Structure 1
C-alpha cells in the first residue's frame, strides 16, 4: 500500500465521507479527471468553512450599519501575496452599498502637493460603512522607498506621523485592522510565473512587480522597519502566512470576526 493510499484511508472518516457526498464535495470530486482525494477533501472543507464565515460577515455588516460603526481594514504584503483574493472572499456576499474597496492609483500632480495622508482621509468610511484598502498609506513605508518613488525625507516624515494618524482614527470611534500577507520568495516567483502565463491575469504584472524578486532583500529591510515602528499595542499588525491562499483567507476572515464585537 502506498503512502498516498494510507493517507487517504486515514482521512476517510465519517465526517469526510459525508463531506465528499455533499454538493460541494461532489463538485470538487468531479472537477478533474485525475482525482486527488486529499485535495478534494481540503477544498471542500475550505469552501464549507468559508461559507459559514461569510454568513457571519453578513451579520457583522448588519451590526455595523445598525450601530453606525466605521471599520477600516488594510491589506498589505508583497506583490502577488493574495491580498485582492482575500478581499473578494470577504466582500462576496455583503451589501455592496455599505462597503468600498480602495486601491488608489499613482498620486496626481495635485495630490503630490498635498499632505500625504489627505488622499486616504478622503476615502475613510462614513458611519455604517466598511472600507477595505488594497494597499494603503503604508505604500510610503515599503513600496515607495524601495522603488525610489519618494525621498528619504518624505519617508522619515511619514514614519514620524503614521502612529499619530492611526491613533486619531481609533479615537474617532473607528475600528482599524492591519493585515500583512506574507509569502516566501519561491512562492512569489511561482505566482508571477502563473500570472505571466495566464491570458486572463497577465495584465496584473507591472514594472514594480517585474523588479520585486530582484529587490526582495530591500523590501525585507523596509518591511522590518515598518513592523518595528508601527506595530503598536493599539494598532498591531496581523501577519498572515499566505503561501496557501485558502488558509490565509480563512485566517483573515476569522480575525475580522474576532476583532469586531458584532455578536455582543
Structure 2
C-alpha cells in the first residue's frame, strides 16, 4: 500500500473514531462533568497511548462545556443578547461544533436556528425579515446554523438570486449588523474552513455510511462539483462583510476536534462573564397520604421489553 493510501486509511479511521466519540459524549451526557472527568482521568492513568489524544480532547471539551454553562447563566442573569453565526462549506463541521456548544445548555436560553429554504411568501419579503423574527430577546443566545449569508453563498452560486440582489445584500448587510449591534445584540460570525481533500473525504464517509447518508442532499453534491465557484464567492463575502462591529473569525476545521475546542474557547474569550452565584437547591420531601393508591397500568399499554 502506498503512502497516500496509508494516509487515506488513517484519515478514514479518525473519521470513524470521531463518530464513536460522539456516541460516547451522548452516553455520558446525563452524568456530571466532574464524574465524567474523573472517569477519563482514570482511563488516562492506565497509560493506553492509543487513547491519549481522545482523552485529552474529552478533558478539554468538558472543561469548556462547564464554562459555557457559566456563560449561559451570566447571559440569562444580565439579560445579554447574543447572536452567533456559523457558516462554511458543506461537511465543514458547523453542526458538530454547534452540538457541542449546546449539549449541556438550557434550550430556553440557548437555541439553534436552521431555517429551510424560503417559501413563496418569504421570497417576496424583505430579505432579512425571516431572520429578524429569530433574533434573541434579553437573556438569550441564538446560534444560526447558516444564516442570512446564504445569499452570498449558495444562492449566488446556484443562481437562486440575481447579481443585483447580491449587490443589494452586500450594501445592506453591514448596516443590518451595525443596527443589531447598536440595539445591544452581540454578533459573532464564524467561518469553518476545510480543504478540498478533507471535504472529499467527508463526503465519501457520508456516502458509504447509511447512518450519515441523510446529511447528503443533491445541493451538497452539486456544491462539491462547484468547489472553485464557492471559493470565489466566499472570498468576496469575507472581504465585503468583515466589519469592526461584527468581524469574521476563521476556524481551521480539517481536524474536527481541534476546530470544536478552538471555536468554543474563542467564543468564551469574547465575553467578560462571571460565575453567577445561586442559592442551594433543596429537594422537598415527597408528601404521602394514606388514602393514595396507584392504579395498575393495563398490560396492553406496556411497551414490550425486548432488550
Task: Give the TM-score of the pair, scaled to structure 1.
Answer: 0.86
- 1:188 maps to 199
Give CA-to-partner distance per residue, 1:182-224, whole Å, 9 cap, x none: 0001100100011111111101101111112210110010011
Structure 1: stretches of 5+ with no match in the other structure: 1-20
SS at match of 2:84: strand
CA offset at residue 134 of structure 1?
0.3
Give CA-to-partner distance per residue, 1:206-256, whole Å, 9 cap, x none: 111111221011001001101111111221110000000000000110111
Which of 211, 217, 242 pairs up with 1:231?
242
Which of 257, 277, 283 pairs up with 1:246?
257
Provide the rounded CA distance (Å) in 2 between the counterparts of 1:151 and 1:71. Answer: 31
CA offset at residue 22 of structure 1?
5.9
SS at match of 2:243: coil
Matched, 1:198 2:179: no
Alignment of 1:1-264 (within 5 A): 23-24=39-40, 37=49, 39-263=50-274
CA offset at residue 67 of structure 1?
0.7
Provide the rounded CA distance (Å) in 1 between the counterparts of 2:119 and 2:141. Answer: 25
CA RMSD, Structure 1 to Structure 2 (Å): 1.9
CA offset at residue 90 of structure 1?
0.4
Provide the rounded CA distance (Å) in 2 between the counterparts of 1:26 and 1:79. Answer: 37
Provide the rounded CA distance (Å) in 2 between the counterparts of 1:197 and 1:28. Answer: 33
SS at match of 2:223: coil
Conserved? CA contact 1:183–1:241, under 8 Å = yes
Conserved? CA contact 1:70–1:129, under 8 Å = yes
Task: Give the TM-score of the pair, scaled to structure 2.
Answer: 0.75
SS at match of 1:178: strand
Q: Which is greater in Rg?
A: 2
Structure 2: stretches of 5+ with no match in the other structure: 1-36, 276-307
Provide the rounded CA distance (Å) in 1 between the counterparts of 2:56 and 2:119. Answer: 45
